[in-house]
Amino acid sequence: MEQNERGNYRTQETLTQQFYHSCLGKIIILLGILGVLFVIACLTVPDEETMMAEMNDNIRQCIEANDSIKTDAIDDAINNVVYIFTTADSIPNQEIIDNFEQCNTLEYCHHTFYATTLLHNNFKPEGIRAGIGIFGVVIPTINFNDFLFKIGPMHKGYDQKPVKSTIIRGGYSFGSDPELGL
């Protein structure tokens, strides 16, 4: 800054400094950074082999962690973050893993900037997202309650239909348990 006679100040900014301080310049810089991040994301999408190997490891860790305790949403979120950085120490009960592989399937879906895996079973035939792969990292979003381990009858006897009637006869008040004819 130079001082003129009478106390007025005059700034001498270069053209690049004026560009950095302008709104248009900040928007262009932000778009440039986002463009670079998108290019890096495109180049580092995990392939199918990596994604499936990581998800199988994450599922084994989830089965191992939830073997005897019930967890809530916060525990599941913390466990999923930990699964990113760890591997399964031991193989859980092989019978449980065999049941899991028999009743559940994983599907790899490649997108432009990321990849996902979907978990399919009889409860969720359309699939539920089990993991996201972005920037070369596989982030699990699994929950032990999403897995199906057994296939069994869903009715009283083999000679009966699964649901006889869904019409509630008589009065139904809030909080009571109606007989649905199961």
Confidence band for 163, pLDDT divided at 50, 70 and 90: very low
Using a cut of 0.75, tell me whether the model's pTM lies above it: no
Question: Where is 131: in which H helix or E strand?
Answer: strand 128-134
pLDDT of the residue at 39: 94
Distance of CA 112 to the CA centre of its chain: 17
Residue 134 predicted with pLDDT over 70 = yes
Confidence band for 182, pLDDT divided at 50, 70 and 90: very low
Residue 69 predicted with pLDDT over 80 = no
Residue written as token pair 């466990």:
79
Instruction: Give dist(CA 84, CA 140) in Å, integer.
Output: 7
**Minimal CA–CA distance to 58: which of 128, 151, 144?**
144
Residue 43 predicted with pLDDT over 50 = yes
Instruction: Give dist(CA 120, CA 109) in Å, integer.
Output: 13
Per-residue exposure over 67-96, b if at least 16 CB sit within 10 Å of its own CB, e if not: eeeebeeeebeebbeebeeeebeeebeeeb
pLDDT of the residue at 76: 79
Residue 34 predicted with pLDDT over 80 = yes
Q: Where is pLDDT greater, at 42 or 103?
A: 42
Confidence band for 178, pLDDT divided at 50, 70 and 90: low
Question: Where is 48: in which H helix or E strand?
Answer: helix 48-65
Confidence band for 166, pLDDT divided at 50, 70 and 90: very low
